[in-house]
């Protein structure tokens, strides 16, 4: 990243802020770091903590990924794009589908076209476990987005490399159950959609480090998936307050009991690295040789392999969850 100009869409979100801090700390010679988002309040609040006066490389750029012309203006002379902007709330997507399509699908295509038009060298797009065999609109839009980014490597006469990072719930993020449980910690109960529910877990730091690694090692067309543990929703409740009763409220519209990040269909082109799985764009020998030559160690997963939060070999213990919870402020 040193000597490069980097743009982060959704730069004021949880990941965007953490990744910005990571880049400023690790890469002292980064040329320019552009925070692109549509929320002026979040930009103002972030700029109070990470000032462009203190960090001369920082630029705050107000804009929406739906707006191609604004996005293209922001990408002028940019080398690397980290695409983290998205609409993410599953229930909201079911009732407002076109808005999610505009941001998550058409916004992704705007990223691709503006990157090509501005000679961007590399694009890393963030995805979600809900993009694997989606049953909700949000997951469907992210699967479509993933397909767009992978296919963008096929444009003739261009040198930009497009890759995707797909991971699960970020521990303690707004999309996880933890903020809700914190609010209800002294209420005597926790609402549980299903006692059987499981989720993949990744910390924000792990997500940031993964994207950084992919930015250095991807060659274009891959979907990277981390090897991470799962947790049981009931274990989260027990770790936060074992005295609270569990109130079963039922599965929400568009919600899965268990998530998966690699489907049986994906397994045909999925290989293992040390810390990650990598889904190749197709199973041709030409593609395999290309990636084998770059990554050196590529181990094919077993036939009909499925990476599911229920059957995952690694699960967080209640004691593990308690340790992770110590990093978050206590409920008032």
Amino acid 328: pLDDT: 67
Domains of the chain by range and CATH?
Answer: 5-168+201-227+261-307 (3.40.50.720)
The CA distance from 272 to 299, in Å, is 5
Residue 300 is among the residues annotated as catalytic for this protein: no
Encode burial over 214-234: b for 16+ CB neighbours within 10 A, e otherwise.
bbeebebbbbbbbebbbbbbb
**For residues 269 and 213, is the Cβ–Cβ distance under 8 A?**
no
pLDDT, position 327: 75
Q: Which of 4, 17, 88, 130 is catalytic?
A: 130
Tell me the pLDDT of the chain (332 aa) as tens digits.
999 999 999 999 999 999 999 999 999 999 999 999 999 999 999 999 999 999 999 999 999 999 999 999 999 999 999 999 999 999 899 999 999 999 999 999 999 999 999 999 999 999 999 999 999 999 999 999 999 999 999 986 778 999 999 998 898 777 778 889 999 999 999 999 999 999 999 999 999 999 999 999 999 999 999 999 999 999 999 999 999 999 999 988 889 999 999 999 999 999 999 999 999 999 889 999 999 999 988 899 999 999 999 999 999 999 999 999 987 655 44
């Amino acid at each position: 990243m040193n000597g490069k100009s980097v743009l982060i869409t959704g730069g004021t979100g949880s990941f965007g802020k953490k990744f910005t801090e990571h880049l400023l700390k690790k890469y002292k010679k980064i040329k320019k770091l552009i925070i692109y988002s549509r929320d002026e309040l979040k930009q103002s609040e972030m700029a109070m903590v990470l000032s462009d006066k203190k960090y001369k490389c920082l630029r705050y750029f107000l804009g929406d990924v739906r707006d191609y012309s604004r996005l293209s203006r922001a990408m002028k002379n940019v080398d690397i794009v980290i695409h983290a902007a998205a609409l993410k709330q599953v229930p909201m997507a079911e009732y407002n589908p076109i808005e999610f399509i505009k941001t998550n699908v058409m916004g992704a295509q705007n990223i691709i076209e503006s990157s090509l038009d501005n000679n961007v060298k590399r694009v890393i797009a963030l995805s979600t476990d809900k993009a694997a065999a989606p049953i909700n609109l949000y997951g469907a839009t992210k699967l479509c987005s993933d397909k767009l980014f992978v296919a963008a490597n096929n444009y003739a006469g261009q040198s930009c490399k497009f890759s995707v990072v797909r991971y699960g719930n970020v521990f303690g993020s707004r999309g996880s159950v933890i903020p809700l449980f914190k609010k209800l910690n002294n209420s005597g109960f926790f609402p549980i959609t299903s006692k059987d529910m499981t989720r993949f877990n990744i910390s924000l730091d792990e997500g940031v480090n993964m994207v950084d690694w992919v930015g250095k090692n991807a060659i274009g067309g891959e979907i990277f998936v981390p090897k991470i543990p799962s947790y049981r929703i009931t274990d989260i409740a027990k770790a936060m307050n074992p005295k609270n009763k569990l109130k079963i409220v039922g599965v929400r519209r568009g919600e899965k009991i268990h998530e998966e990040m690699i489907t049986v269909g994906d397994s045909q082109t999925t290989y293992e690295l040390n810390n990650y799985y990598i889904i190749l764009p197709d199973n041709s020998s030409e593609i395999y040789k290309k990636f084998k030559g770059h990554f050196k160690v590529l181990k094919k997963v077993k036939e009909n392999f499925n990476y599911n939060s229920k059957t995952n070999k690694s699960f967080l213990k209640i004691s593990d969850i308690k340790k992770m919870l110590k990093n978050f402020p206590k409920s008032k």
